[in-house]
Homo-oligomer: A and B are copies of this chain.
Amino acid sequence: MRIALDAQGTDRAPQPEIEGVLSALASWSGPRPDIVLVGDRAVLEPALLEVEDRPGAEHLEIVHAPDRIDPGEAPVTAVRRRNASSIVAGIRLQKEGAVDAFISAGSTGAVMAGSLIHLRPLPGVDRPAIGTLLPTAAGPTLMLDAGANVDCRARHLEQFAHLGHIYAQDLMGLDRPRIGLLNIGEEPEKGDELALAAHARLAASPSIHFVGNVEGRDIISGACDVLVCDGFVGNVLLKFYESVAEFIVGLLRKEVAETGSEIDVRGAFRVLDYAEYGGAPLLGVNGVTIICHGSSTSRAIENAVGVAARAVAKGMVGHIARQLPGLSGEAPGDGATS
């Protein structure tokens, strides 16, 4: 197995990238994958020299791609013009079959656009979606779409449900993942036009285990394993959650500092630590693309490498390619919005 990693993605690249893959390789069980670091050879060669004695370092390679797409750039334009960027080069490695997966903590928009343009959506997938793991009291819940698609229709939400179903089976070890629809009430007749139409489709879908509507208050108790929503709500919710967790932990740190308490803030809130979950998969493209935060630590990169490797080993893309095209035959009438 070969996994490409954007070596100039994080805010402090390439240090978290290199440390992350080395940690992953050091603790690998089974045959180690080869890791292709995609970035500026002038930076990466001396960095790798420094770590050449570490376990697994012989599995590191460099592909030279000196250009870097900034998070502020218009994604589609950047992807079309910047072939020497680490993002485009890494995605093309996968397209050409030189690697099995690509991980980047660079511009989310560019990774998404590059994957759509070069890898293409799988048959039966109108719109690939970003899946992201939300920490809950009962373990992580996969929420999708986390921001790739606004103005969705019911059939898109139905596709997200099936993408999430397959991810949860392959990556989260769940035989029969509980699929929930984010909504403003539990009853099937609650919600906006999109939610009503999506509910009807999901309820009529025999190949997934639909548990109905999930309200904002039920997410955190772990009411479902896969939470389906459009990318607008999902993006707002994800960013809000991250910031609220930071805010509340900050309040606590202040209190701890003022009182001289010896409470272990980090330990108490480990469940909220996104680094534990690795990156967010872009589900529905013909390949394995994992998107990480720009602020990713080496621990987050390490976990993202694990997620990418499991997706490849399980054959997740093949599972999606087999299940999704069947949906159009499965669905009932589409309601007002699709």
Contact = CB atoms under 8 A, between A and B. Distances in A.
Interface of A: 137, 147, 150-151, 182, 184, 191-193, 195, 215-221, 230-233, 235-249, 251-252, 254-256, 259, 261-264, 267-269, 271-272
Contacts of A251: 268-269, 271
A154 B26 CA distance: 54
Contacts of A195: 150, 232
A119 to B, nearest CB: 23
Given A137-B247, A232-B184, A237 B216 contact: yes
Contacts of A238: 216
A218 B233 CA distance: 15
Given A235-B184, A248-B272, A261-B263, A220 B240 contact: yes
A241 B220 CA distance: 10
The 8 A-B residue pairs with the shortest CB-CB distance, nearest first, are A216-B239, A216-B240, A150-B192, A255-B268, A217-B239, A216-B236, A217-B243, A184-B235
B242 A267 contact: no
Contacts of A219: 240, 243
Contact of A241 (B137, B182, B184, B244): B244
24 contacts: A147-B184, A150-B184, A150-B192, A151-B192, A182-B236, A184-B236, A192-B232, A195-B232, A215-B236, A216-B236, A216-B237, A217-B242, A217-B243, A220-B240, A220-B243, A221-B243, A237-B240, A240-B240, A240-B241, A251-B268, A251-B269, A251-B271, A255-B264, A261-B261
Contact of A245 (B191, B193, B239, B244): B244
Copy total for this chain: 2
Contacts of A264: 255, 259
A215 B239 contact: yes
A248 B219 CA distance: 13
Nearest to A185: B235
Contact of A255 (B235, B237, B263): B263
A116 to B, nearest CB: 18
Contact of A263 (B216, B220, B240, B263): B263
A260 to B, nearest CB: 10
Among A147, A231, A237: residue with most chain B CB under 10 A: A237
Contacts of A220: 240, 243-244, 246-247
Contact of A259 (B151, B249, B262): B262
A236 B235 contact: no
Contacts of A221: 243, 247
Contacts of A217: 239-240, 242-243
Given A216-B236, A255-B268, 20 more contacts: A150-B195, A184-B231, A191-B232, A192-B232, A216-B235, A217-B239, A218-B243, A220-B243, A220-B244, A221-B247, A232-B233, A237-B237, A244-B245, A245-B248, A248-B249, A251-B268, A251-B269, A255-B267, A261-B261, A263-B263
A243 to B, nearest CB: 4
A110 to B, nearest CB: 14
> In this complex, which of A151, A240, A261 has the most chain B Cβ atoms within 10 angstroms of its Cβ?
A240
A28 B263 CA distance: 41
